[in-house]
Structure 1
Amino acid sequence: MACRITELVLDCADPRRMGEFWCEVLGYVELGWDGEDLEIGPPAGFGGPQPTLILSRSADPKPAKLPLHLDVNPTDRNQDAELERLLAAGARPADVGQTGEESWHVLADPEGNVFCLLRRRVDPITVDGP
């Protein structure tokens, strides 16, 4: 047997705003609140093929280039169109020392957490219904 990543936790100052942003980016929905922490995930909920994201309120979030960051790929458009969509949703370009020759874009979410938009288009995850 092996383990599987089921949740990712991101410390943030404003879970509601971050939830809105990441729901827009990932096509996720709000799954529920546990105190001041918001869980978002795919419409199928926890336990499916995609991990949920816990946005944990913190008085001292550490934005910037984290030791671990998210990479996202477009599913229904090319990289340029997806970049426009993410920027309109509140992402902004981030500089972590890239050369400008990379095939990906380095972005920051509304609280400054760095993530990358990769070039390759991937198929969306579909979950068989009942």
Structure 2
Amino acid sequence: MATATATVRQVQVTFDCADPERVARFWCEVLGYVVPPPPEGFGSWADFDASLPPEHQSSAFACVDPTGAGPRLFFQRVPEGKVVKNRVHLDVRVGTGLVGEERVAALEAEGARLEAIGAVHVRLLPADGVDESCLVMQDVEGNEFCLD
């Protein structure tokens, strides 16, 4: 007898953070994502947020790929801060097809752009004969991600 299985149609990536809107807007800038329109009946996200009970205000925010190709990113407020390295991180593909100095230059240029909006340059992992170079960064709350 065949077993029914679910087919995954969409993926959402969820971030735990202290300030959901700030982190979401950072990732909008990194990825070219946008903030979706507020729920029906609200002129802005601020209006929607103000309608929530005080304990739920500013507790979540999201951003989406305007082309619909990438996953929705959801940011939720949690009480605890980041303590250890992320178990999952995003690789932002800015050096695809590039090698050597040309790849490092592209990674460093994008890294500099992101530093201007609050990212932190952690370290360059140089090519090692198996993997090409990548640049380890942190977002505005210290979550690691790679420019790859």
Q: Provide TM-score, normalisation by structure 2.
A: 0.64
Residue 101 of structure 1 corresponds to 126
Tell me if 1:68 matches 2:73: no
User: Contact 2:20 / 2:76 at 8 angstroms: preserved in 1?
Assistant: yes
Q: Where does the alignment leave 5 or more consecutive residues of structure 2 unmatched? A: 1-5, 39-44, 50-55, 96-104, 128-132
Q: Provide TM-score, normalisation by structure 1.
A: 0.72
Tell me if 1:111 matches 2:141: yes
Tell me if 1:27 matches 2:47: no
SS where residue 84 of structure 1 aligns? helix
- Bigger radius of gyration among the two: 2
Q: Where does the alignment leave 5 or more consecutive residues of structure 1 unmatched? A: 119-130
Q: CA RMSD in A?
A: 2.5
Letter in 2 for 1:105: L
SS where residue 30 of structure 1 aligns? coil
Tell me if 1:17 matches 2:14: no
Question: C-alpha separation between the residues in 2 aligned to 1:27 and 1:110?
Answer: 16
C-alpha displacement at 1:58, in angstroms?
1.0
User: Contact 2:26 / 2:117 at 8 angstroms: preserved in 1?
Assistant: yes
Higher-helix-fraction structure? 2
User: Contact 1:63 / 1:111 at 8 angstroms: preserved in 2?
Assistant: no
C-alpha displacement at 1:4, in angstroms?
4.4
Q: Find runs of 4+ consecutive structure 1 residues off by over 6 angstroms.
A: none
Higher-strand-fraction structure? 1
Question: C-alpha separation between the residues in 2 aligned to 1:73 and 1:39?
Answer: 21
Question: C-alpha separation between the residues in 2 aligned to 1:80 and 1:113?
Answer: 19
Letter in 2 for 1:18: V
